[in-house]
Amino acid sequence: MIRTITRQKPLAGILVGLGEARRVFIVGCGTCSTMCRTGGVAEVAAMADALGREGLQITGTAVPPVACDDLDLAVLDEQAAAIDAAQAVLVLACGFGAQSLGARRAVPVVPGVDTLFVGKERGPGRFEEICRQCAECVLADTGGICPVASCHKGLLNGPCGGTRDGKCEVDREMDCAWTLIYQRLDRQGRLDRMRRLQPPRDHRAVLRPGKLAIQPGEEEHGDAPAV
């Protein structure tokens, strides 16, 4: 299952973000930031303690099951008084959660985490980015391994000169995506795919910020909806 991977900001940075606010409501998330240990029940409680030690007043806390889900955020309406009593809502959920919450209530939201990437948990506490939502999928030619996400430079035509024993020069713990792609295509007998010159990416494939409206009826035909 994919998750939004977050990292908690240092306390000093959080205090700068909170600015003059003395009364703070803290919101976590029961899904992704619970898994990342950045905004689960325990982290929200620890943050309340830490801010309390800085002399801030905590008007309340909440950990909705899915902070980016509008239905889940409706649960917070039960705590409307505590939220509205605050001068800032500190959000220990990803950028989706913080923006969903910010659109819902008048109190300003302040992020307590940085949203790093959308990734997969490879093992306990180990997360990796494997798709960057680039809007132009090349996996058919790359053995099902994405070079846009998995190569540091996002190269489409093979490894750069910085690969060494199957690792990336930027981080020796990181696999060279193109070594992995080569090995898989070789096993599949499909190296001809790697020999094709991939053209430059078409960044019009999705106009950022991405928006998509599926027209009625199109789902049945499987047509590509207009972007």
Partner 1 sequence: MPQPFREALASGRFLVTTEVGPPKGTDLGGFLHHVDLLKDRVDAINVTDHQSSVMRYPSLGGALLVQERGGQAILQMTCRDRNRLALQADLLFACTRGIRNVLCLTGDAVAVGDHRGARGVFDLDSAQLLDAVRTLRGGKDLGGNELVGGFDMCAGATVTPEARPIEPQLIKFEKKAAAGAEFFQTQAVYDLDRFRRFMEHARRLDARILAGIILLTSARMARFMNANVPGICVPDALIDELASAGKDKAKALRKGIEIAARAIAAIREQGLCHGVHLMAIGREEVVPEILAAAGIGGPPPPTTS
- Residues at the site binding partner 1, with contacts judged by CB under 8 A: 152-166, 169-170, 178-179, 181-182, 186, 191, 194-195, 197-201
Between 15 and 180, CB nearer to partner 1: 180
CA–CA gap between residue 110 and residue 16 (Å, rounded): 10
**Shortest separation between residue 4's beta carbon and partner 1, angstroms:** 22
**Shortest separation between residue 168's beta carbon and partner 1, angstroms:** 8
| CB 106, CB 83: distance < 8 Å | no
| CB 75, CB 94: distance < 8 Å | no
3-state secondary structure of 53: helix
Between 13 and 19, CB nearer to partner 1: 13
CA–CA gap between residue 34 and residue 216 (Å, rounded): 37
| CB 109, CB 87: distance < 8 Å | no
HSE (side-chain half, CA atoms, 13 Å) at 167:
7
**Angle made by CA atoms 182, 183, 188, in degrees to the nearest 5:** 95
**Shortest separation between residue 3's beta carbon and partner 1, angstroms:** 25
Q: Which residues contact 129 (CB under 8 A, 6 or more apart)?
A: 5, 116, 117, 118, 119, 149, 150
**Shortest separation between residue 57's beta carbon and partner 1, angstroms:** 36
**Shortest separation between residue 193's beta carbon and partner 1, angstroms:** 10
Between 46 and 191, CB nearer to partner 1: 191
Between 55 and 161, CB nearer to partner 1: 161
Q: Which residues contact 2 (CB under 8 A, 6 or more apart)?
A: 118, 119, 120, 131
Between 23 and 201, CB nearer to partner 1: 201
Between 161 and 189, CB nearer to partner 1: 161
**Shortest separation between residue 204's beta carbon and partner 1, angstroms:** 12
> Which residue in the block uniquely carries the two structure tokens 């190269």?
155
